[in-house]
Amino acid sequence: MILFYEELCNYCGSCVAVCPENVINLVDIHLSIDRENCTDCAKCIKGCPIGALALERKGKIYYPEYEGRGLF
C-alpha cells in the first residue's frame, strides 16, 4: 500500500504525471490516492522529488533509497 506523508508534500504533481493507472488525484493542495485501483508499482515513489511517498509491504515501509536493492 502506498503511504502519503502530507506534511512533506509540496503538491508539485510529479507523482500524478508518472502514475500509469491515473489513480492519484491532485486538486490545489489536496492529494488523494485511489488505493483500490493502485497496483503498488512504486513509480510515484521514485517520481516524488522529496520522499513524500513510500510503500508499505508486509508490515515494512520502503522508501526510494531502497531502489536497486530488489525491493522495487
Residue 56 interacts with ligand SF4 (CB under 6 A): yes or no: no
Number of helical H runs and strand E runs in the chain: 2, 5
Largest CA distance in the chain: 35
Q: Tell me the β-bridge partners of 60.
A: 57
**Least distance CB 25 / ligand SF4 (angstroms):** 10
Q: Which is nearer to ligand SF4, 39 or 67 (CB)?
A: 39
The site map against ligand SF4 for 8-47 (x = CB under 6 A) is -xxxxxxx---x-x-xx-x----x-x----xxxxxxx--x
The type of residue at 24 is I
